[in-house]
Amino acid sequence: MDYKEISTLWKRDNDRPEALKLVNKQLLKELAGQKVRYGLVQQKLSTFIELGVDIVWLSFLGQFLSDHQGETQFMVPAIILLLGAIFSLGMVIYRIWLFYSIHSEDAVVEAQLKVARLQYLERLDIKLLWILIPLYTVPFLIVLAKGFLGIDMYQWSGFLWQIAAGSIVVAAIIVFILKRYPSKELQEAKTFLDELENIE
């Protein structure tokens, strides 16, 4: 809110207490939006890092597929990873859009909905780990070993099965930890907005 807007609100009614109430309400709304945005800086940073990793990973997979055309045993795991990377990129872009769509002039209810969506995406990411870690561990090893070391992991198929089984345990541990310690920033933003809901 700039000075002109404050002045307009102040002059719109001869009842100064009512005008002051309107000014305070508008200022509190803007403060709420700014506090939420600044409170999610760390979340934004980690999301941009994830975006960079996804772009690099997609570039690597694209080059890998180009280098191993016709080698089905390597193309299949690379395509599986590529589909996962595209899905991940889409989720990251959506999260970034949510972060930057929280404006100081938004109604508290709107900001609440956006923070709730971010929390939902966080919970969805955690749930998907049950599927993604076991599904992608073996293809990940096959592609990395071939792409960086030129090693064919298929010659150790027994070892790959053991890794696949172990990845289920790893997924369980990671999901347990992430569920136990959800994003503190998102929770604080939600609590703050819930407390301000009555000003609407």
DSSP string, 76-144: HHHHHHHHHHHHHHHHHHHHHHHHHT--TTS-HHHHHHHHHHHHHHHHHHHHHHHHHHHHHHHHHHHHH
Instruction: Kindly report whether the global pTM for this prediction surpasses the value 0.85.
Output: no
pLDDT digits (tens, 9 = 90+) for 75-103: 999 999 999 999 999 999 999 998 888 76
pLDDT of 2 above 60:
no
Q: Is pLDDT larger for residue 144 or for residue 40?
A: 144
pLDDT digits (tens, 9 = 90+) for 151-161: 999 999 888 89
Phi, psi angle pair for 40, to nearest 5°:
-100, 20
What is the CA angle 100-106-108, rounded to 5? 110
User: Average pLDDT of the chain?
Assistant: 82
- What's the confidence (pLDDT) of residue 12? 54
Task: Measure the N-to-C terminal CA separation of the chain; round to a whole number of Å.
Answer: 17
How many alpha carbons fall within 13 Å on the CB side of residue 92?
A: 18
Instruction: Name the residue ranges covered by the structural domains of the chain.
Output: 1-37, 40-186
Query: Helix, strand, coil shares of the chain as percentages rounded to 5?
Result: 90, 0, 10
Average pLDDT on 22-45 reads: 68
Question: Which pair of structure tokens corresponds to residue 200?
Answer: 């609407």
pLDDT of 33 above 70:
no
Q: Which residue has the tokens 């709304």?
A: 29
What is the distance between the alpha carbons of residues 36 and 186, in angstroms, rounded to a whole number?
A: 9
